[in-house]
Chains A and B, each alone.
Chain A
Amino acid sequence: MQFMGRKSKRERTQAIEGYVALSPWMFGFLFFYAIPILASLYLSFTQWTLVGSAKWIGFENYIRMFTRDPVFIDAATATGFFVLYSLPFKLILGLMLALLLNMKLPGMNYFRTIFFLPAVISGVAVSLMWIWFLQPDTGVVNTLLRYVGISGPGWFWDINWALPSVAMMSIWKVGGAAIIYLAGLQNIPAHLYEAAAIDGASKWQQFWRITLPLLTPVLLFQLIIEMIDAFKIFTEAFVITQGGPLNRTYFFLYYFYEEAFRNFNMGYASALAIFLLIVIMSATALVKWWSNRWVYYEN
């Protein structure tokens, strides 16, 4: 009995010390996650300009969003297409790059350094660099195209090319994805390949039967991370296009920013924010559910 008592006392100190250790996170969670999110949810049902008190208007913001706001449609379309344009390329090219970098050849480390570099530079610096890089007349890309007799498009300044240009910029950062794949590739036990080689499996078969299945957990992780990231595109719109031309790059967060901090329509902007949160969370849940069909777990 006495032993039991001591043990439960030990347990109690454990619990108290555990909560003490977690207290900074719990405080942060409360004040920088839970309360702001709930407040955003509340504000999304109001009309508010940051001065005075918020006026409750029920579902009005959401009704306006879905039924009579063409800009919302533009923003949702631009963001959706950006995700569609950039995500598959990033995932597939990232994997291909990682496979190249994983080859046991001398000097691969230098290539790794080069390809990963774009992923660490700030969005603003990258945007400025690319504005200049993609200048229609004096830019590098169009000059190179001119060498081979193609007259290049107006990139960021062309209605049909603005969105693909932003996607291209984002694909330039593919090295970040490649590095994570690379870690996954290096984690695959070499004896599997040796065994397969002895059994006469070709490189191609090894890729489809060993590499890809064992890489699916990393693939899922990448898919989720990159998808969430793509939904959050903002800096490029702010720095390069200001949402133009003709709202083709009027990304969701940019609309949110404009509504909230330029027009001070805090209520409507909150509704936009909540909508984005719901989209991201459902997309993640959907991907996770879908992944049960293709992710291979060893244990």
Chain B
Amino acid sequence: MKTETLASSRTQEIMDLHKARVGRRNRRALPKNILIYAFMTGLAFLFMLPIFWMASTSLKLPREVFAFPMEWLPSNPQWGNYEEAFSKFPLWRFMWNSTYMVVLSTIGQLISVPLIAYGFARFEFPGKNILFMLMLATLMVPTHIKFIPLYWMFQQLGLIGTYWPIILPEFFGHPFFIFLMTQYMRSIPKELDEAARLDGAGSFTILYLVILPLCKPVLAVIVVFSFLWNWNEFMAPLIFLDDFEEYPISVGLAFFQGRYSVEWHLFMAATLVSILPVLVLYFFAQRHLIGGLSAIGLKG
């Protein structure tokens, strides 16, 4: 007992000494920190340049757009460009379509993922580990290579040109979400289930009344990622939709790019509008996004 205290006080002493040394070093390191900040700020400016250039162009007069040498800022910000962009391109329509896809896909994930993860996390049955491995393996398969058979399948069902081919698969759980949810559920103490079971709750009551309320962080991660992925999705809507009235914003913008490639001020305005929802989500839900990525990065 006594020697232990002695040893720990000795350690404490060393640590204090070390901290003092580090403190001195930190004060000396002040110029170094300024250097780091300067470097980071410069790098941040560099990274933001494409976005700045988009924003600046979106407010320019047509004649300023192709000015040579270029002008960094518009002489007189033309906010009317945004109005014109909205009247020229069916932006509302595209954004509504995207929203529709995003909401339905997210609902699909929220319905299916908890149930599937519950199966993996809480039940013992033959073949479970193999199925789990198989599920993870599907993460490796590029969606694109399934497009031909799926196209044929949905054509037979008369569903090409509708949102079904894009939304329906979302109702069967994305492997990334299933993996996250399973890991999270495994970390919830089993005693909670047992207690509820003793009170007469069935397995699925336990899922929805006991476990799922504890899984809110993962549900938030699912909502954020599902929003991002579906808002940004390009190839699936490009293939499965055939009327530009139905296009989501990603495909819609690409569609117009070929046709109006001279009016870059309007085009940059439209592009900026298209990423606004993502930016808003990003600033408010950054924590969930980073949390989700970190979780899979560390466990994967």
Which residues of A pack against B, CB within 8 Å? 11, 14-15, 17-22, 24-29, 31-33, 35-37, 39-40, 43, 50, 100, 103, 105, 107, 111, 113-118, 120-133, 137-140, 143, 146, 172, 175-176, 179-184, 187, 194, 197-198, 218, 221-222, 225, 228, 231-232, 234-235, 238-239, 253, 256-257, 260-261, 266, 269-270, 273-274, 276-277, 280-281, 284
B142 touching A231 by the CB < 8 A rule? yes
Among A26, A29, A197, A260, point to the contact of B148 (Cβ < 8 A): A260
B116 touching A187 by the CB < 8 A rule? no
Contacts of A19 in B (CB 8 A): 119, 125
A25 touching B18 by the CB < 8 A rule? no
Contacts of B232 in A (CB 8 A): 121-124
Among A39, A132, A266, point to the contact of B54 (Cβ < 8 A): A132
Contacts of A100 in B (CB 8 A): 36, 39-40
Given A24-B171, A120-B228, A274-B145, the answer on whether A194 and B298 have CB atoms closer than 8 Å is no
A-B contact count (CB 8 A): 262
A277 touching B145 by the CB < 8 A rule? yes
Closest to A267 in B: B148
Given A128-B271, A172-B47, A183-B294, the answer on whether A36 and B125 have CB atoms closer than 8 Å is no
Among B112, B148, B238, point to the contact of A25 (Cβ < 8 A): B112
Chain B interfacial residues counted at CB < 8 A = 94
How distant is the Cα of A11 from the Cα of B128 in the complex, in angstroms? 14
B140 touching A15 by the CB < 8 A rule? no
Q: Which of B65-73, B74-82, B84-92 contacts A (4 or more CB under 8 A)?
A: B65-73
Given A36-B146, A228-B140, A280-B140, the answer on whether A25 and B44 have CB atoms closer than 8 Å is no
Chain B 86-124 interface mask (CB, 8 Å, partner A; 1/0): 000000000000000000000000001001101110111
Chain B 43-57 interface mask (CB, 8 Å, partner A; 1/0): 110011111011001
Task: Classify the interface of chain A: helix, strand, loop or mixed.
Answer: helix
How distant is the Cα of A239 from the Cα of B255 in the complex, in angstroms? 9
Contacts of B204 in A (CB 8 A): 17
B47 touching A114 by the CB < 8 A rule? yes
Contacts of B115 in A (CB 8 A): 21, 24
Can you name 9 A-B residue pairings with CB atoms under 8 Å?
A18-B119, A29-B134, A40-B146, A116-B286, A125-B274, A132-B54, A140-B53, A179-B294, A256-B145
Contacts of A111 in B (CB 8 A): 40, 44
B142 touching A21 by the CB < 8 A rule? no
Asked whether any CB of chain A lies closer than 8 Å to the CB of B20, the reply is no
Task: Classify the interface of chain B: helix, strand, loop or mixed.
Answer: helix
Contacts of B253 in A (CB 8 A): 124-125, 128
B149 touching A124 by the CB < 8 A rule? no
B172 touching A27 by the CB < 8 A rule? yes
B140 touching A118 by the CB < 8 A rule? no
B275 touching A122 by the CB < 8 A rule? yes
A15 touching B126 by the CB < 8 A rule? yes
Asked whether any CB of chain A lies closer than 8 Å to the CB of B212, the reply is no
Asked whether any CB of chain A lies closer than 8 Å to the CB of B214, the reply is no
How distant is the Cα of A287 from the Cα of B205 in the complex, in angstroms? 43
How distant is the Cα of A156 from the Cα of B283 in the complex, in angstroms? 31
Asked whether any CB of chain A lies closer than 8 Å to the CB of B264, the reply is yes
How distant is the Cα of A218 from the Cα of B295 in the complex, in angstroms? 11
How distant is the Cα of A130 from the Cα of B257 in the complex, in angstroms? 13
B149 touching A36 by the CB < 8 A rule? yes
B142 touching A221 by the CB < 8 A rule? no
Given A25-B116, A37-B145, A256-B144, the answer on whether A122 and B123 have CB atoms closer than 8 Å is no
Given A14-B124, A234-B235, the answer on whether A39 and B149 have CB atoms closer than 8 Å is yes
Chain B 175-193 interface mask (CB, 8 Å, partner A; 1/0): 0001000000000000000
Q: Which of A20, A25, A228, A231 has the most CB of B within 10 A?
A: A25
A129 touching B54 by the CB < 8 A rule? yes
A125 touching B271 by the CB < 8 A rule? yes
How distant is the Cα of A114 from the Cα of B289 in the complex, in angstroms? 14
A239 touching B70 by the CB < 8 A rule? no
Task: Taking A18-B124, A118-B50, A260-B148 as given, write out 18 further A-B residue pairs in contact, using a Cβ cutoff of 8 Å, ordered by the A residue number.
Answer: A17-B123, A20-B119, A21-B207, A22-B116, A33-B146, A50-B155, A100-B36, A111-B44, A117-B48, A123-B250, A124-B254, A129-B54, A133-B54, A179-B290, A179-B294, A253-B144, A257-B144, A273-B147
Asked whether any CB of chain A lies closer than 8 Å to the CB of B131, the reply is yes
Q: Which residues in window 243-271 of B have CB below 8 A to A?
A: 250-251, 253-254, 257, 264, 267-268, 271
A138 touching B68 by the CB < 8 A rule? yes
Asked whether any CB of chain A lies closer than 8 Å to the CB of B15, the reply is yes
Closest to A103 in B: B36
A95 to chain B, nearest CB (A): 13
A197 touching B171 by the CB < 8 A rule? no
Closest to B300 in A: A221
A89 to chain B, nearest CB (A): 14
B18 touching A198 by the CB < 8 A rule? yes
Q: Which of A117, A184, A261 has the most CB of B within 10 A?
A: A117
B274 touching A122 by the CB < 8 A rule? yes
B293 touching A183 by the CB < 8 A rule? yes
Contacts of B235 in A (CB 8 A): 234-235, 253, 257
A21 touching B286 by the CB < 8 A rule? no
Contacts of B251 in A (CB 8 A): 124
How distant is the Cα of A50 from the Cα of B147 in the complex, in angstroms? 12
A40 touching B149 by the CB < 8 A rule? yes
